Amino acid sequence: MERKRAREFGIEIGSLEPGRLNAITDVKGVGVGHVTLIQGESIRTGVTAITPHSGNIYEKKVIAAVEAFNAFGKSTGLLQVMHMGVIETPILLTDTLNTWRVADAVLDYFKERYHFTPKTLNPIVGETNGGFLNDSFGRHVKKEHVFEAIDKARGTEGREIVEEGNVGGGTPMIGYGLKGGIGTASRMYENITVGVLVQLNCGKREDLIINGVPVGKELNVPRPQRGEGGSIMIIVATDLALTSRQLWKLSRRSIIGLARTGSYSSVTSGDFVIAFTTGEKKIEDFKESIKKEGFDGNELFLNPLYKAVAEATEEAIINALFKAETMMGVNNNIVYELPYDQVEEIFKKYGRSID
Amino acid sequence: MERKRAREFGIEIGSLEPGRLNAITDVKGVGVGHVTLIQGESIRTGVTAITPHSGNIYEKKVIAAVEAFNAFGKSTGLLQVMHMGVIETPILLTDTLNTWRVADAVLDYFKERYHFTPKTLNPIVGETNGGFLNDSFGRHVKKEHVFEAIDKARGTEGREIVEEGNVGGGTPMIGYGLKGGIGTASRMYENITVGVLVQLNCGKREDLIINGVPVGKELNVPRPQRGEGGSIMIIVATDLALTSRQLWKLSRRSIIGLARTGSYSSVTSGDFVIAFTTGEKKIEDFKESIKKEGFDGNELFLNPLYKAVAEATEEAIINALFKAETMMGVNNNIVYELPYDQVEEIFKKYGRSID
Amino acid sequence: MERKRAREFGIEIGSLEPGRLNAITDVKGVGVGHVTLIQGESIRTGVTAITPHSGNIYEKKVIAAVEAFNAFGKSTGLLQVMHMGVIETPILLTDTLNTWRVADAVLDYFKERYHFTPKTLNPIVGETNGGFLNDSFGRHVKKEHVFEAIDKARGTEGREIVEEGNVGGGTPMIGYGLKGGIGTASRMYENITVGVLVQLNCGKREDLIINGVPVGKELNVPRPQRGEGGSIMIIVATDLALTSRQLWKLSRRSIIGLARTGSYSSVTSGDFVIAFTTGEKKIEDFKESIKKEGFDGNELFLNPLYKAVAEATEEAIINALFKAETMMGVNNNIVYELPYDQVEEIFKKYGRSID
Amino acid sequence: MERKRAREFGIEIGSLEPGRLNAITDVKGVGVGHVTLIQGESIRTGVTAITPHSGNIYEKKVIAAVEAFNAFGKSTGLLQVMHMGVIETPILLTDTLNTWRVADAVLDYFKERYHFTPKTLNPIVGETNGGFLNDSFGRHVKKEHVFEAIDKARGTEGREIVEEGNVGGGTPMIGYGLKGGIGTASRMYENITVGVLVQLNCGKREDLIINGVPVGKELNVPRPQRGEGGSIMIIVATDLALTSRQLWKLSRRSIIGLARTGSYSSVTSGDFVIAFTTGEKKIEDFKESIKKEGFDGNELFLNPLYKAVAEATEEAIINALFKAETMMGVNNNIVYELPYDQVEEIFKKYGRSID
């Protein structure tokens, strides 16, 4: 049976409307490219590239911000984003121990694709730990995979439907003791789009909540012996031209969406949000819809976007679970997918109709 | 009909056990004192004191930390706590515009009660905005009220059942378009107690979630014309001797509990968490129950406390709604209480039995 | 003998040119008003208002940022500035224990001057501890003094020469074991002005450095028994329209100027920088003078402003020492002024000519 | 003529005594290992390892903290240190574009030396940009160089005299338009040692200050066409057992030392301080020398350490300049060493005797 997204399954999270694709690629210009490596018994890894636009990002940087909710994580480049307020490379997501080789490959990408030898460059690489299913120490993601992922993201392929589940950097990941990986979603507000993509590798089984229903407690699926309690990478894109400070505050609301899926952001989690804007339209350009009321009329306009990012994050996480498939990997470790029939059963019990 | 706490109503949030009182006062030494001012048509205010211990806190400071999730707020003293890692006065909660007078009164308290004239002092005063029901600008909380609240907190009265709802600093507050105010709860883990007290004044009606059920969308109660989208003060206490860094990370998990009640932490919210420890027992003293597994064996022990603080925060918020009563205030403004019958109805609809 | 500013004395700090007044009031629109209270033997206090413009700042907020280098300090309102990126009231400076009453008085100011009753307001009050010369606990700064200081700042008087030394909030302060207080300075770069005002109350005698000369070690002046090692408030203004993030980074460079006068930012110091911009001209408007070279052509333009703020801070601190006069206060405590003749002697010894 | 350290040259910075070696290795357990790569015309690079102790640091982590004063830098692992408060690998310093390969090699080091395959690891790699003299893009630092540097640091060699100047990660670096690189120094206070090591690559020529003397303005040495205004990595070690919060505050005082050498921490600088403690003696163990006076008797004890770290940082920077030698590198670029005769001349002019 083909895996469906949460919304195809009849689960509608939140109240705002998704964009056309219900994906981060609804934000104009944003591309996503996955390279998935599944070989033999022990290689279950890959890399995902998110490109804010298809051009040379070093030359046309994008305004950005980072929230490090719990920084037990190896992501590269984030402190510079916090201080400079811009991103100057694609964002790459991968398995923990690939992190630095992927970052290094980004240098080569700039040289080979743009015939420009960077003297300095701040590659943004996010990671979660796929070591239960993947031979992480093997560091199987190579330069060519990084190139391919970025090329895909920049090409037309990267602008359309985003594959979810066991793909790209998300290939070996575990979410709430079930098969996790990549998920995405988006929300619209007054022609503004907020898109989110997650690499889900966190949460304990018993804590899983789907749209308010405590599914984790009710599920009857074997749990992996290890790999619960890990990390999540959350990428947020919007086409509203915000400042870095505003994006930072926006990014913090992703944690609200994360919380609603059941995570407690464990001690050993690297729970990071990276937000950027591709837009040129500012809040001021929506003046007619802005009711000045007190403090900072303009900034109040952000409230619906806070909701949008929380909803999109929650749905992206649930999408990762809905799309990921049971996987066996290194040491014959196995992680099971979210079983649709059980979800249906549990939802009924909790008075939620699924259409 | 007397107002009940959520648990008396049959709603059990989370999986950890509450302490004896299910209140912040379950944490050894902690006291809470309310002074409630309801006079005429326009005075609906008060002050709540939380004392980490009953002694002179300046002389016996407590380790502390602060999370400023969204700092549109006037709380005093928090930056010093962030840098010094200690609290040296009781914590006071009140209505926004009383903030500075309450802080000033704390100086007098030290002089009059301890016969010691502080040369420097860092009063911790938290606030939310009760201006829809209260004549805030009148600043009706006086020195004597501050004294009385601290005295109560330090006395035996302050160590027992904590009044909730329309009391103390919470008197005029609004939560999710319903009457809000003070709420409290606690959780136990291996003889460690985590207690939380909130002054709830945030959230939009339609967003209210109670134990996963989207109650806000289903409620049929008149909404206040203003006053949604405000702030919350969250006070966290534990008897486990943590460092300031560890307390900070613990305090961040309160946001997870907050998120699960439906807040998006609006642009104009002052959503602060202040955490302190009264304990002398360290993580190391629980060695037998600590399984060393990787990174930092000791710190892993904090995971259940993260859950405890999230659960206790969620329940404290719901308790505030369950205990608060319909109130009319300044300009004949009125805010309605959470109606039990509707909650019961909605819970049934969502498959949640209420015993 | 009348006290002179450092530059009148022949000491030229740094390489950039000062503005016309060599004061924070060189920044267009900025006003400074002092109210100085010297009464009897024990009252040595006051309040200083800095107004970014002469209008209603709540209605026309200014972009701002805060650096808390060492936050053993009671300043109010700073966390909100960090998150919201704006200031909405005048900035007031005073003696520590006046802090909260001064903040409270700002509310009344808005009501009485603007016939507008604030429902929420974020008063910015900075403080240092004048308790060696002043009866701090008496809290002698009253509402009327706050009003007067703000009125002066907003009036024409506030736009001109800024009094320094034993004035306003700086009245009882101590710097490097010498009489400290208020100091100011400014720097120009390409028609951009950066102005700084300090309330100097920090530093140990032996550590004092004036323009690179270790004056503190060589001075022969009685030291106060207490009061070394305190705090400094640094206010930075510029007419270049920067974002809050950029202002934050600018404000950090004040610490460089502070360091060069000899401070180690002691454990019990409240060393805060508050920066704001009054400008509408952006970096982009100086395009011709911006050489794009690498990272972020625009932002490189900030380098000379970093220098400007460091130089102006250093000179403002030295000005405070040069202008302050010997003062006797409570308990007959006395703090001596910087003796010009000794400075001259020491400068000669260190090969610095003083014209 | 052999290059001398500042103190051998007669320049004594500050008032506290240096340790036996006047180096970071005065802190018990700390080791430093350099591997220097100077080959042909374009390879001028290397790697420096600092080991808090000679054991497996992953198994015996050290308490640590980070100050990111200006985070235009690519260092890896720092965010995790900020949140977790520990370091679990050696610290490596290198040229910018080697950063990620060096981080990756640290994984292999753990596997090959400790026969343990890390599932997760947080390599700490600091960098500054040596691209004016080195073929940075060539990334010439290989796994074996990283291994050798760490082995040296852990061996007896690493515990003794630390080579300075054109060595290890500092090989191609530029300081104040002069040849920079590695420098170190230490200070003692009551049997407590604070040691600092810097990789100096920042500052503009005209801004250089040596012990208060504005040497940069007076020097007559050709300037490099590029490479001014870069970064500095500052490593701080102490044998006093501090908390992560206390170490963070200590680390900030390194910026004071940096400021006194003339830097303005430029827009494109990665000015980071990484501090750790190897000690088991706590502040409390120095009780007799602690005079309780107000706030936090214990913490006041840190004041002399703030001075120690500022002085040691200042001297380490000056040592880097004093020890580095004129170097020619890629594209025949040349950077000149600090000329002793001119320093002597300038010092005389500024009344500083050099013994």
Q: Is C136 a catalytic residue?
A: no
Please give the positions of A annotated as active site.
231, 269, 271
Listed in sequence order, the DSSP H helices in chain D are 78-84, 99-114, 143-154, 215-218, 244-252, 254-259, 297-300, 303-323, 340-349
Closest CA to B62 of B54, B70, B52, B72: B52
Residues in chain A within 8 Å Cβ distance of B206: 15
Q: Is D231 a catalytic residue?
A: yes
What pLDDT sits at residue A301? 84
What pLDDT sits at residue C288? 61
- How confident is residue D292, by pLDDT bands cut at 50, 70 and 90? very low
Interface of C with A in 61-90 (CB under 8 A): 61, 83-86, 88
* pLDDT of residue B293 exceeding 50: no
Closest CA to B311 of B6, B11, B13: B13
What pLDDT sits at residue C292? 47
* pLDDT of residue A208 exceeding 60: yes
* pLDDT of residue A78 exceeding 70: yes
| CB within 8 Å: D259 and C264 | no
pLDDT digits (tens, 9 = 90+) for B184-226: 999 999 899 999 999 999 999 999 999 999 999 999 999 998 8
The pLDDT of C290-312, averaged and rounded, is 76
Catalytic residue (one of D75, D136, D251, D269): D269
pTM: 0.97
The pLDDT of D231-250, averaged and rounded, is 97
| CB within 8 Å: D267 and C302 | yes
pLDDT digits (tens, 9 = 90+) for A275-319: 999 998 888 777 665 544 334 557 878 999 999 999 999 999 999
* Average pLDDT along chain D: 94
A139 touches A107 (CB < 8 A): no
* pLDDT of residue B290 exceeding 60: no
A50 touches A262 (CB < 8 A): no
| CB within 8 Å: D74 and A101 | no
Neighbours of chain B (3+ CB pairs under 8 A): A, C, D
Q: Which residues pair with D236 in a beta bridge?
A: D196, D275
* pLDDT of residue B128 exceeding 50: yes
- How confident is residue B116, by pLDDT bands cut at 50, 70 and 90? confident
Closest CA to D231 of A79, C275, C212, C273: A79
Q: Which residues pair with D65 in a beta bridge?
A: D275
Backbone angles phi, psi at B144, to 5 degrees: -65, -30
CA distance B341 to A100: 58
pLDDT digits (tens, 9 = 90+) for B158-191: 998 999 999 999 999 999 999 999 999 999 998 9
Of D212, D267, D299, the CB nearest to C213: D212
pLDDT digits (tens, 9 = 90+) for B38-87: 999 999 999 999 999 999 999 999 999 999 999 999 999 999 999 999 99
* pLDDT of residue C296 exceeding 70: no
Shortest distance, CA A176 to any CA of chain B (angstroms): 15
pLDDT digits (tens, 9 = 90+) for C128-162: 999 999 999 999 999 999 999 999 999 988 998 99
Encode burial over D221-249: b for 16+ CB neighbours within 10 A, e otherwise. eebbeebbbbbbbbbbbbbbbbbbbbbbb
What pLDDT sits at residue C225? 85
Residues in chain B within 8 Å Cβ distance of C74: 76-77, 80, 120-122
Higher local confidence (pLDDT), C226 or B219:
B219
What pLDDT sits at residue A294? 38
Residues 6+ apart with CB under 8 A from C316: C183, C184, C185, C196, C197, C198, C234, C257
Of D253, D260, D295, the CB nearest to C265: D253
* pLDDT of residue D272 exceeding 50: yes
Residues in chain D within 8 Å Cβ distance of B243: 85, 243-245
Residue C297 CB neighbours (<10 A): 14
The pLDDT of B99-124, averaged and rounded, is 96
* pLDDT of residue A328 exceeding 70: yes
D141 touches D168 (CB < 8 A): no
Amino acid residing at A331: N
| CB within 8 Å: A79 and D83 | no
The least confident of C221-235, D121-135, D164-178 is: C221-235
Catalytic residue (one of C75, C186, C231, C263): C231
CA distance D279 to D296: 21
- The answer, for B237 touching chain A at a CB cutoff of 8 Å, is no
Closest CA to C93 of C107, C79, C75: C75
Listed in sequence order, the DSSP H helices in chain C are 78-84, 99-114, 143-154, 215-218, 244-252, 254-259, 297-300, 303-323, 340-349
* Nearest residue in D to C256, CA atom: D259
pLDDT digits (tens, 9 = 90+) for B10-23: 999 999 999 999 99
What pLDDT sits at residue D294? 38
pLDDT digits (tens, 9 = 90+) for D105-116: 999 999 999 998
Shortest distance, CA B217 to any CA of chain A (angstroms): 10
What pLDDT sits at residue C1? 72
Closest CA to B47 of B57, B60, B34: B34
DSSP line for C136-184: GGG----HHHHHHHHHHHHSGGGGSPPP-BS-GGGTT-EETTEE-EEEE
Catalytic residue (one of D136, D186, D231, D244): D231
CA distance B52 to B34: 15
